[in-house]
Amino acid sequence: MSLLGVTVGIFSIIAVLAAVDSLDKTIQGQLSSLDSNTMYLANMSFGPTDVPRWQRETFDEVSFNEYKTIKLSIADAEHVALQLFVKRENIRYESELVSSVNTVVVSHEFIDIQVMEFEKGRFYNESESNSGRPVVVIGSEISKSLFGELEPIGKKVRLYGQKFTVIGVVKKEGSGLFGDSNDVSIFLPANYVRNRYGDNNPFMKYIVIIKPEKDADIEGVKAEITQVMRNKRGLKPDEIDTFFISVISGLQDVIDTIIGSLNLIGWVISGFSLLVGGFGIANIMFVSVKERTNLIGIQKSLGAKNKFILFQFLFEAVILAVVGGLVGLFLVWIGTIIGSNLTEDFEFVLSPQNMALGFFISSIIGLISGVIPALTASRLDPVEAIRTGM
């Protein structure tokens, strides 16, 4: 039972740490395509805010004119892109249909802000973007579903009741944690949708994406954007901002806080199992001392010192705990293999640091659990020990 307690405790701690590390690695991989200083200008916040919900709902959408103003006014902005959030669409090629596709509507600058690799073709250029030409970039899974083994570049697909020319296929990247991945998405010029539906469509949400220059003062750029937007919207000095500027690094801080909380919860839950295991090991060691009292007396009468007896029992306690810990680590390792095979695009990782931590924790549990029994054994009087044992 004591070994089971240590096994469960080590399994719980390392399993939680491995799962959280895997989640963190996947999230960082998703965010790696964006510069950590990338900013999002919208009428909603991507992180915690003190502005009440009822007030946020009164804020005007960011407009196309504000996007153009930001693009022309912010000197330290390397790239400024417009994104429109729209409903999902169906895309068809001849008899093949893919329903409810994630539709990413962006201006041409998007490719300069978010790193995208292409399996075939390219992203649309400035001319195609500004004119709202009916061209489309598709994800690898969309390409596979529509065309199979056929060459997709140059093919005509039907979307919005019109034919679009496929000019690019995004390289496969795996599942996304923040919505749909590029594999199951399509990319359209923002001006095509604007020209078709106008700028005041209530079913579209505008967001401006700003990538500052490499050495720019981020807070300075943020303040400059704020001032431009306040002037554009005619806000008085005593009025609050009716827009939000969210920075990717701020989102990473929120994610780090969540991951830290998950780790803490894992430690607290696992601590109870370790506590039970520790008491179990201590109980076994007390029983062992009682059963071997006669042997201890004989050892001491033959010259064994207290230190030798102390370390003998401490070593046994540590070995018991380490065996339980190694079983726990083995179960986590098996779990990561099974988990990675069951989830195609999410890899569970058991790092050497977590394995070493599990070994260290189990050793410490054994050491602490064995201290009192070992001290009791080392302090036995040899004559009394032999007599008691008889």
DSSP string, 148-217: TTS--TT-EEEETTEEEEEEEEEPP----SSSS-GGGEEEEEHHHHHHHH-S--TT-EEEEEEEE-TT--
Give residue 144's pLDDT: 92
- Assigned token pair, 152: 């997709």
Cα torsion 39, 44, 48, 50: sign: positive
Give residue 252's pLDDT: 62
Give residue 30's pLDDT: 58
The dihedral over CA atoms of 246, 252, 255, 259, expressed in degrees to the nearest 10, equals -160
- Say whether 93 sits in a helix, a strand or coil: strand
Q: CB within 8 A of 97, min separation 6: which ones?
A: 90, 91
pTM exceeds 0.85? no
Least Cα distance to 80 among 187, 213, 224, 189 occurs for 213
Give residue 264's pLDDT: 75
Q: Determine how many CB atoms are found less than 10 A away from the CB of residue 154.
A: 9
Give residue 302's pLDDT: 75
In the chain (390 residues long), the average pLDDT of successive 10-residue segments reads 63 71 65 69 81 86 91 89 91 90 92 87 93 93 90 92 93 66 90 87 86 86 91 90 80 67 71 70 75 74 77 80 79 77 66 76 78 77 65
Give residue 283's pLDDT: 77
Give residue 213's pLDDT: 87
Q: CB within 8 A of 195, min separation 6: which ones?
A: 132
User: Which parts of the chain fold into alpha helices (H)?
Assistant: 2-31, 53-56, 64-73, 110-113, 126-131, 140-147, 190-197, 218-233, 248-291, 293-301, 306-342, 352-378, 382-389
